[in-house]
Structure formats: structure tokens, C-alpha cells
């Protein structure tokens, strides 16, 4: 029985992905625990701390398929943590008492935290793939529509012209920064935990740091400089990173939703028969992927806040905040995966209508480039006078007094400096794109 959209048979591949669910499944979580236990046994055997035959026997049974998940559930509910029940079953599976060497010198949180870091490593690899694919799609849009003019918007009003390639390149630059952030944070995040009861490794005497180093080498993780049982910035940083990533996805979804409006219709989500249909309004084509991205982004943000709460822990081992991570970390990754998956489909198949973009540019009869007219008149009339004069003409045109160009050409104060042909050049939005193309090229070059 499933009760949430993440594991629902109906919704699960809308709000998340199979690959990410696999990483955070019960079976995978237990297998990560066992991977840590096996690596610990190998490391300690190599150092002569436990018998070599014990390590071989322990590793032979570090396979989740050998474990009774129903019993694990029962024991976890009784004890309060899953690691000890896992260790108990592992000990029972090993022959001739060799299992007693399992978990030597470790504590529950060592295994749990290190397994979580391993989950995060594999989960971030999926995020990295999604970001790379999204980057490729945005780069293709930026390149294809580098010089396609459209209305830039401020406060939901037409501002000045931009190009659709410029809009795509702005988003691409953000995704590329996320990819750079991911590279930067990995060395800080992918660090294991092995400190024993209170982080001092007292149970292993003088061998503690040797075991710690060997264990992390076995697992391919960084070695901690000191225990981080209750110093949770690593986990919180992962959450904040995904909060940033999904925030950008939310920006993409918001712009597409607005551009899909009937009154705008400049872009559309990829077409599929029946997708976005209304049960009562046959003409509608709703922004489905955008809607799901928006929902995922909001929920990720709430869980990131929970991870920041989880940083406030007591003393050397915490009473409660740690368990917040058990809830928040999987949900953040699962919902982020859903948002990334929807975004990949959305951007890769985005339908763009350059003709409608141009039509919307022309809605105001050139007033979208009133700034260009003001700047063109500035050297002749002074900037402030040019501003006031163009402002008055805009108001008159909006009130139905004539076209913007006609009113400009008829104004004596203007006619003495610019003729109608020059004014027509100024009020053509395609002539006021600034350095949009060069900026697109710069972003594309950085991506390469």
C-alpha cells in the first residue's frame, strides 16, 4: 500500500523517478549499511585488528538479499534504529561466531551517516546527469534563437526587446552555475563518519584513526578531520544546493506558464495527444510539466528549511534533530528528481513561436522602444526633456490620439532633429536588442 505521491503507483513517476527511488528504497538503504560494515571489516582485517577469516565471513553475508526485512522492521520499531537490527542479523548469518567481529569499534550513527553520504553520492550523480542534459537543451535554444526578438518583461509589463536566445542563455548560465556548485561542494560533502560513541574512537585505542582512514579509502570517501555526529552542515549544504537547483527550475516553469497564456502564446510545452486537456474546455492546453515542477519546488523548499532546523543539535549525540534528516533528505532528492525530470522533458521539447513573439512586440506600435527614442533625442534635446516629451506622446497614443510613430513625426520639437525614416528605425524593436547576441555567445562559450 502506498500513500504519498512519491511512492504512489499512479503519481510516482510524475513527482519523482525510478532511479532516485531505487537509491532511497529500504533495500538500498540496508545495502548501504552493509557496504559500510563490509568495508569496515576489510579495513580492520588488513590492519590486524580483527581476524582475516572473520572479515571474509562478514563480507560474504553483506548482501541485503540474505536479510529478513520483516524482522528488520519489527526490531527497528522495538529498538528505535535500524542499524543494530541489521548488525544482529549479520552476526546470526556468520558461521562459528565470526560475526562477533562485525561493527568493531563503530557506533550506529557512524554506519548511518556514512551510508547516507554514499546515498547522496549516488543521488548527486543522477542530479549531475539531469543538469548536463538540461544545459544541453538550453544551449540549443540559446543558439537557435540567438537573434529572435521578443518582448522583455518587467512587472509583467512589456519593458524593452530582448531575444528568446538571450532568455534561454540567462537560464543556461544559472544551470551552469549549479553544475559548478556541485563540483565545488562534493569534496566537502562526500566525507564519511567514523568516530565511535562520542566521536573520540576510544574503543579502538591508538588504532582508531588508522581504521578511520582505511575505511574511508575502502569506500572512496573523504576522511573527516574530526567527528561530525552533531555538526550537520554537510547534509544541510546538500539540501540548500538542491533548493537552489529547484528554485531555478521553478523560474523556468513560471516563465513558460506565463508565455503559454492565451493572450501571449509565445511558447508551449511539448505536444502529446491529450496532454494538458481540460475535462470541460476542449480548447485548453494546460502547462502540465510546469505545474508539477512548481509543486515539487515548493515542497523541496519546505524540507530544506527542515534540514536547517536539524542543524541545531545537542552535545555530541542528538535527541531528535538527526531523525529530521531521515525524513527530509530522501524527500528532497526524490522531489528534486521529479522536478528535474519534468524540466528535461519541458525544455528539450519546448515549442517556440517566433511569429507570435514578433506580433506581441508590435502590440504597442513601437512604444516598447520608447527608451530608444528618448536616447536618440537626448543629444538634441537633453535627456530629461527628451524623456518628458516621449512620455507625453506615449500617453497621447495610448489614449487613442494616433500611432506612436505618427505622433513623433508630427511633433515640431522632434521633427527639427529626426525625420520620419530615422524615427521609424528607432521604433523598430528589432533595432534595439542591445548586446543580447554577444551575451548569448559568451554564455555558450563558457558552457563549452
Active-site residue numbers? 278, 317
Q: How many CB atoms lie within 10 A of CB 89?
A: 21
Residue 194 and residue 213: Cα distance in Å, rounded? 9
If you search the block for the grid coordinates 505622433, which residue do you land on? 407
Helices (H), 190-320: 208-219, 233-259, 288-310
Name which of 40, 42, 62, 59 is nearest 212 in CA terms: 40
Residue 24 and residue 194: Cα distance in Å, rounded? 22
Residue 339 and residue 345: Cα distance in Å, rounded? 10
Residue 423 and residue 376: Cα distance in Å, rounded? 9
- In angstroms, what CA-CA distances link 202 with 36, 106, 340? 20, 10, 44
Mention every residue, 6+ apart, whose C-beta is less than 8 A from residue 105: 44, 49, 196, 201, 203, 204, 208, 211
CA 118 to chain centre: 19
Q: Which three cell numbers stand for residue 80?
A: 528505535
Sign of CA dihedral 159, 164, 169, 172: positive
Amino acid at each position: 500500500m502506498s500513500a504519498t505521491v512519491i511512492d504512489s503507483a499512479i503519481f510516482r513517476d510524475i513527482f519523482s523517478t525510478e532511479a532516485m527511488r531505487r537509491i532511497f528504497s529500504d533495500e538500498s538503504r540496508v545495502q548501504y549499511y552493509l557496504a559500510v560494515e563490509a568495508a569496515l571489516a576489510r579495513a580492520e582485517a588488513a590492519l590486524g585488528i580483527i581476524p582475516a577469516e572473520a572479515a571474509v565471513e562478514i563480507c560474504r553475508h553483506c548482501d541485503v538479499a540474505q536479510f529478513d526485512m520483516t524482522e528488520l522492521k519489527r526490531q527497528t520499531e522495538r529498538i528505535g534504529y535500524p542499524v543494530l537490527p541489521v548488525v544482529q542479523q549479520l552476526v546470526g548469518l556468520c558461521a562459528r561466531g565470526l560475526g562477533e567481529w562485525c561493527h568493531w569499534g563503530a557506533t550506529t550513527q557512524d554506519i548511518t551517516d556514512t551510508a547516507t553520504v554514499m546515498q547522496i553520492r549516488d543521488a548527486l550523480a543522477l542530479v549531475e546527469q539531469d543538469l548536463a542534459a538540461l544545459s544541453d537543451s538550453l544551449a540549443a535554444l540559446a543558439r537557435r534563437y540567438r537573434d529572435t526578438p521578443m518582448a522583455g518583461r518587467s512587472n509583467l509589463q512589456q519593458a524593452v526587446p530582448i531575444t528568446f536566445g538571450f532568455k534561454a542563455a540567462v537560464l543556461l548560465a544559472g544551470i551552469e552555475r549549479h553544475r559548478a556548485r556541485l563540483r565545488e561542494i562534493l569534496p566537502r560533502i562526500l566525507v564519511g563518519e567514523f568516530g565511535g560513541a562520542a566521536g573520540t574512537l576510544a574503543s579502538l585505542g591508538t588504532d582508531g584513526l588508522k581504521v578511520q582512514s582505511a575505511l574511508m579509502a575502502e569506500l572512496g570517501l573523504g576522511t573527516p578531520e574530526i567527528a561530525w555526529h552533531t555538526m550537520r552542515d554537510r547534509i544541510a549544504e546538500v539540501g540548500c544546493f538542491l533548493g537552489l537547483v529547484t528554485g531555478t527550475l521553478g523560474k523556468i516553469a513560471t516563465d513558460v506558464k506565463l508565455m503559454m497564456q492565451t493572450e501571449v502564446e509565445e511558447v508551449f510545452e511539448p505536444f502529446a495527444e491529450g496532454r494538458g486537456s481540460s475535462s470541460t474546455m476542449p480548447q485548453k492546453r494546460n502547462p502540465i510539466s510546469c505545474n508539477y515542477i512548481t509543486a515539487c519546488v515548493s515542497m523541496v523548499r519546505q524540507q530544506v528549511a527542515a534540514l536547517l532546523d536539524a542543524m541545531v543539535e545537542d552535545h555530541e549525540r542528538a535527541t531528535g534533530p538527526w531523525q529530521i534528516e531521515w525524513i527530509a533528505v530522501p524527500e528532497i532528492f526524490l522531489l528534486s528528481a521529479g522536478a528535474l525530470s519534468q524540466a528535461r522533458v519541458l525544455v528539450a521539447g519546448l515549442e517556440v513561436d517566433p511569429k507570435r513573439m514578433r506580433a506581441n512586440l508590435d502590440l504597442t506600435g513601437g512604444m516598447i522602444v520608447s527608451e530608444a527614442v528618448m536616447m536618440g533625442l537626448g543629444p538634441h534635446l537633453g535627456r530629461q526633456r527628451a524623456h518628458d516629451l516621449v512620455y507625453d506622446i506615449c500617453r497621447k497614443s495610448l489614449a487613442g490620439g494616433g500611432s506612436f510613430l505618427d505622433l513623433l513625426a508630427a511633433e515640431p520639437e522632434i521633427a527639427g532633429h529626426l525625420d520620419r525614416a530615422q524615427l521609424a528605425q528607432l521604433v523598430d524593436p528589432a533595432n534595439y536588442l542591445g548586446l543580447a547576441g554577444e551575451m548569448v555567445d559568451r554564455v555558450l562559450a563558457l558552457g563549452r
